[in-house]
Amino acid sequence: MLAIVCPGQGSQTPGFLRPWLELPEFHSRMAWLSACAGMDLVHLGTEGDAETIKDTAVAQPLIVGSGLVSMLALFAHPVEGFRSVGVGAGHSVGEITAAASAGVLSAEQAMVFVRERGAGMAQASAVTPTGMAAVVGGEAKDVVSHLEALGLTPANMNGSGQIVAAGTLEQIERLKAEPPAKARVIPLQVAGAFHTEHMTPAVERLSVFARAISTHDPRIPLVSNKDGLVVHDGTRVLRRLVSQVSNPVRWDLTMETFKAMGVTGLIEVPPAGTLTGLAKRALPGVETLALKTPDDLDAAHRMVREHGQVDTDLEPAWRLVIAPAKGTIERAPLDEGDTITPGETIGQVVTARDAYNVVAPHGGRIIEWLVSEGDPVSPGQPLVRLHPKEAQ
């Protein structure tokens, strides 16, 4: 199974777009997304210095735009990607790239949304001097307790021994002076305490814009960085894109879901490197590739062929409904032969603390249940097989 992952802020470096401009149509596509974003992304990605592209209002559209256009170099047509990719996800702002690539938003909607996200977060960051720092090493539980004692938020739980702390600059300085046991602190080149309560004004701003955005259900399974759940509903994806601005990123849970789903290959789109580094440590045995320049495309196309799940049948004989989370299944009173409608809830996955609805993205006639009442299930596990032509 092939996973495509999209990086977040901090992954950009000066000039990273330069080699991509050698590809046919890359310049014109980036120019079009520049118009949507209201800034010259081609210039910023080639000539912008480190300080310029560190600006939140600049960095976020630049990262999403480059990821979307590079996806077209990876797959000649979106349908090819939908047939090959088993799962997608994005880290922080990269979740917008993933959502648009999965068909939830159009590229134009994504660029307007990320423009407003970046501007809103930049304004929120200007209210109080805040920042972030990576804490590498130490016991995760001890690190979190130490951060909370200093008034900091564990804003990114990245797995592989890395937790990103966020808070005021004063709190960050104290963390540097008093690191957790067996851990080191690395200040990050970001302009605010992202994914914390400091970003609440940006959430309010995005909530207004989100009400005017139409969505589609994702064409591939999307794993949410909020909690590692597989999200099938487009409106729910959009709501999570809004709320994640002030909520911690749980990339550790995202990678646990990849493991449970059986991911064998992982490609990170530009500006690539950070997420593949985390995956190499957290997902042993999974082939990874950071798509940094067009020179990496041959290796990427090979991985698509070897790990992708190509389905050439445009009229499938059946479809699967999969589990959104790890837990036990409670089935709705539906039997084999019953017909369900698109968006219908067919049961719940129950965990120790929560219950998550199992929603059928497609309607159809139930051919067979693949699990029994009370069975343990994992994220992405098939639950029901449907015959699609019976959906009316």
Catalytic residues: 92, 195
Q: Show the CA angle centred on residue 213, arms to residues 253 and 250, nearest 5°.
A: 10
- 247 Cβ partners below 8 Å, 6+ apart? 195, 226
d(CA 384, CA 321): 5
Contact 111, 37 (CB under 8 A): yes
Token representation of residue 329: 């299944």
Tokens of 264: 């064998």
293: number of Cβ within 10 Å = 16
Closest C-alpha among 152, 159, 135 to residue 197: 152
The label of the residue with tokens 């938003």 reads 105
Residue with token string 């814009």? 209
How far are the Cα atoms of 10, 44, 47 from residue 14, in angstroms, in the given order?
11, 8, 7
Residue 120: count other Cβ atoms within 10 Å of its Cβ.
22
